[in-house]
């Protein structure tokens, strides 16, 4: 992480790196990405949060989607976690063959 491009600490656990690039996880239907750098993903996430603040308030009791992601059940349109899960599954298949 370069010092001249700070990423807010609250973004750290919402940015994931995949083979295809960086994704920013959102609470809306679609994640953001892929981006070629974490900084770009972070900036996109900042803009996204500004737009959605007030429209889609954080609901207490909503399950954390950061844990136990089931790609087969997922209905999101652009899901960074599914991308990550697919890559992981693919690389496990390659390792097993
Ligand atoms: Zn998903």
Tell me the pLDDT tens digit for each residue of 17-28: 999 999 999 989
Look up residue 27 and give its two tokens. 């609470």
Residues in the 5 Å CB sphere of ion ligand 1: 74, 76, 79, 81-82
Instruction: Quote the CA–CA distance of 65 and 57 in Å, as a whole number.
Output: 16
The pTM (predicted TM-score) of the whole model is 0.74
Ligand 1 centre distance from Cα of residue 81 (Å)? 5
Q: Per DSSP, which regions of 13-68 are E strands?
A: 15-18, 21-24, 32-35
Mean pLDDT, the chain, whole residue set: 85
How far is Cα 37 from Cα 51, in angstroms, rounded to an integer? 22
CA of 45 to the centre of ligand 1 (A): 17
Q: Which two tokens stand for residue 12?
A: 């750290």
Spatial distance between the Cα atoms of 81 and 65, rounded to a whole number of angstroms = 9
What pLDDT, in 10s, does the model give residues 79-90?
999 999 988 888
């Amino acid at each position: 992480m370069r010092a001249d491009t700070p990423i807010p600490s609250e973004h750290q656990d919402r940015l994931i790196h995949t083979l295809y690039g960086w994704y920013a996880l959102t609470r809306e239907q679609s994640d953001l990405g892929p981006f070629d750098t974490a900084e770009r993903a972070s900036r996109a996430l900042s803009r996204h949060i500004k737009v959605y603040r007030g429209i889609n308030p954080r609901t207490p009791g909503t399950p954390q989607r950061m844990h136990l992601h089931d790609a087969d059940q997922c209905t999101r349109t652009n899901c960074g976690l599914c991308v990550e899960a697919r890559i992981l599954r693919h690389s496990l298949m390659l390792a097993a063959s």
